Structure 1
Amino acid sequence: MDFIKQAFNVKHEFWRYLVGSLIIAIFAIVGQFPFAIAAMFKYVANGGSINDMDEQALMSVLEPNLNLFLLLLSFAFGFIGLIIAVKYLHGQTIQSVTTARKKIDWKRVLFAFLFWGIITSGMILVDYFISPESYVWNFELNRFLILVLVAVLLIPIQTSLEEYIFRGYLMQGFGMLAKNRWLPLLMTSVIFGGMHVFNPEVGKLGYGVMVYYIGTGLFLGILTLMDDGMELALGFHAANNLFGALLVSADWTVLQTHSVLKDVSEPGQGFGDIFIPVFVVFPILLIIFAKVYKWTNWKEKLFGTIEAPVTENYKVLD
C-alpha cells in the first residue's frame, strides 16, 4: 500500500489535520514553560529587569547544557500531542504515519543515520584542517559528556517530531486534500522552511538561507515519497542535527552547545553555503539512495494522482 494512501483507511477529513496540528502546537507550547520559567528566574537573579527581557536575553542566560535540555523538552511534549492526535483524532497508528511497510524498517533508519553522520562529520573535519583559523577548540570533557547524554536522548526526539509532522502527518493530510503528490511535497516543504524563519541563523545570514531550509524539506519529502516511508528521513535528520550539535557550534546558531569545536568565522550566504547543499549535495544523495533501494517510477511517485484504493479488505473512512 502506498504511503499517502494509507490515510484512506482512517478518519482523514482535512479539518482533523488542522485540529491535530493545533493539539501538537499546544503541547509543544506547554513544554516551553520549564525553559521560560527557569530563564526568567535566572535573568532576574542576575540583576536583569523583567521589563527589559527579550528572547535573545533568555536564550543566553542559562548554562548551555541546561538551555539545550529545556529547549528540546518542548519537542517531547509535542510528541505526546502528536500521538494523541494520531490515535484519537484519526484512529490511526504511529506505524502507518511512519511507513507503508508492514513494520518500521530500522535498518533504513540506521543506514541513513550512519551514512549522513559519517559524511557530515567528515566535511566538518576537512573544513577544520583546511581553515583552522575559522575554529577554536571548545572541548571540555565533563561538559561534553553531559552534552552527549542530553543530545543523544533528546535531539532524535526533536528531529523525529519534525519528520512526523511534515513528512508523515501533514504529508498524508495534504495528500487527502489535494488527491495528488506534488502539492503535499511542496506545502510541507514550504511550511517546514517557514517554521525556521525565526531562527537566529536567518537574522545573521538573511532570508536567502530559507532556500536551504525549504530545499532540505523538499529533499526529505522526496526521500519519503520515493521510499514509501519516513525511515530514511528520520535517520538523516537525526544525524544532521546530532553530529552538528556535538562537533561544532557558533554564537549565531539556534543551538548553543559545549561542542568539540566552535566556528568563529564570519558566515556567508553565497553559493557554497546555501546552494551547493541544495542543488548539488542533496541530488547526489538522492541518486545514491535510489541505487541502494532500487527506486523506480519517479514521475508517478512525485507527481501522480492519489485515488482511493478499491479492495475487499480496505475500508475507506470519511
Structure 2
Amino acid sequence: MYIEQFNTSKFKFILYLPFPFLFLGMMLLNFMAIKLLNLDVNQIIQNEIDKNGVNRFFIDTMLSFVFGLILLFVWVRYVQKISLIRFTTSRSKVDWKRIFFAFSIWGGFQIIVTALSYYSSPENYVWNFDASKFFVFLLIAVILIPFQTSFEEYLFRGHLLQGLGVLTKNRWFPLLFTSIIFGLMHLANPEVTKMGNIILVYYIGTGFFLGIITLMDEGLELALGFHLANNLITALMVTANWTAFQTHSVLKDISNPSIGFEILMPVFVVFPLLLLVFSYKYGWSNWKEKLTGKVTKVNANPYIE
C-alpha cells in the first residue's frame, strides 16, 4: 500500500530523479575528491573544529540537511503535488506513537549497551561530560539531528523507494537498491577510513533493516524513529576523534577502533530480533509478498487535486 498508492496514471518517474541524482552526485564528487587528492578527512574535521569550535562545525554540517529536507518537501508537495502525509505513510495520518516506540526501543538499547561497554572496559573511555557545553549541544542536537535523519529516510525509504517501486512494479529491487546505495553513501565517512570497508556491512545492513520495516509497516514512521534514536543518542553519549560526529558528549572513546562482533552484532543479531518485536506488536504478516511481491494499483490517491 505504501508504494501502491503512487501507482496511478499521474505517476511521472522523471520527477523522482532530480533529488537522488543531485544528492548522490554530491556524495560521489566528495568521495572522489578525497581519494584523488588524498585528503585526510579526520585532519580536515579537526582543523575546522579548532577554528570554529565543536558546535559551529556541527551546525554547519547539519545545515545542508535542513535545507535538503525543506526543499524535498517543497518539491514533493508543489511539483509532484503529493500529500506529505501520503509521502510519509499509507495510513490516514502519521502515527506518532510508532515513531516514539521505535525511538524509545532503539535509544534505550543504545544507552544500555554504552553503559555496559563503559563499565566493562573503562580504560577505553574518558569522562567527557561538561554541563555548560553538554546542554547547549543537547539543544542544538535535538533541533538539527531530526532534519538530518528525516532527510535520509524521506529520500531513500520514501522518495527513491516509492519511485523505483512503481517503475519496476516490484518491491525487492527498490529494497535492494536503496539499501546498498544508503550504505555506500557512507564511504566518505572517517569511520570507513579508520576501520576499513568491512564497516559497510553495518551501513548496508542498517539500510536493509530500515527498508524492511518501511515495507512491512507500510510507512516511514518506524524508520524515522529508529534513525533519529541511532544518531541522536550516539551524538549525546559517545564521541571519538575518528568519527563524523564530533560532539560535546558524555563519554569520549579513546580506544583504537577495530571491527569486531560488537560492530556486526546489530546486523546479524539485534536487527532480526527487533523485526520480531515490531512484527509481534504491529501484527505483520505475508512477509514474502510485502518484501518481494509485485506493485499493483489500488484505489488510494496520494496526489493533491
Normalising by structure 1, report the TM-score: 0.86
Post-superposition CA distance 1:79-114 (Å, at most 9, x none): 122012212331102211110000000010011111
Structure 2's unaligned 5+ residue stretches are 28-38
**Structure 1 range deviating more: 202-211 or 76-85:** 76-85
Larger radius of gyration: 1
Residue 281 of structure 1 corresponds to which residue in structure 2? 270
Residue 130 of structure 2 corresponds to which residue in structure 1? 140
| Corresponding residue to 1:306 among 268, 273, 295 | 295
CA change 1:314–1:157 in 2 (3 A) is: closer
Structure 1's unaligned 5+ residue stretches are 30-52
Residue 269 of structure 1 corresponds to which residue in structure 2? 259
Aligned residues of 2:126 and 2:251 also touching (Cα < 8 A): yes
> Does 1:297 pair with 2:286?
yes
What amino acid does structure 2 have at the position aligned with 1:17?
Y
Of all paired residues, the percent bearing the same amino acid is 50
Deviation at 1:316, TM superposition (A): 9.5
Deviation at 1:244, TM superposition (A): 0.5
> Does 1:122 pair with 2:108?
no
CA change 1:10–1:288 in 2 (3 A) is: farther
CA change 1:187–1:315 in 2 (3 A) is: closer
> How far apart, CA to CA, are the structure 1 residues paired with 2:145 and 2:41?
21
Secondary structure in structure 2 of the residue aligned to 1:85: helix
Residue 93 of structure 2 corresponds to which residue in structure 1? 103
| Higher RCO (C-alpha 8 Å, min separation 6) | 2
Aligned residues of 2:216 and 2:291 also touching (Cα < 8 A): yes
| Corresponding residue to 2:76 among 55, 74, 86 | 86
Residue 16 of structure 2 corresponds to which residue in structure 1? 17
CA change 1:217–1:314 in 2 (3 A) is: closer
Matches within 5 A, 1:1-318: 2-9=1-8, 11-22=10-21, 56-60=42-46, 61-62=48-49, 63-270=53-260, 272-309=261-298, 311=299
> How far apart, CA to CA, are the structure 1 residues paired with 2:179 and 2:23?
18
CA change 1:268–1:10 in 2 (3 A) is: farther
**Structure 1 range deviating more: 202-211 or 57-66:** 57-66
Post-superposition CA distance 1:217-259 (Å, at most 9, x none): 0000000000000100100100011010001011110000010
CA change 1:58–1:266 in 2 (3 A) is: closer
> How far apart, CA to CA, are the structure 1 residues paired with 2:232 and 2:205?
20
Deviation at 1:194, TM superposition (A): 1.1
What amino acid does structure 2 have at the position aligned with 1:172?
Q
Deviation at 1:25, TM superposition (A): 7.1
Aligned residues of 1:205 and 1:268 also touching (Cα < 8 A): yes
| Two-structure CA RMSD over aligned residues (Å) | 2.4
Secondary structure in structure 1 of the residue aligned to 2:246: coil
> How far apart, CA to CA, are the structure 2 residues paired with 1:128 and 1:284?
24
Residue 47 of structure 1 corresponds to which residue in structure 2? none
Normalising by structure 2, report the TM-score: 0.89
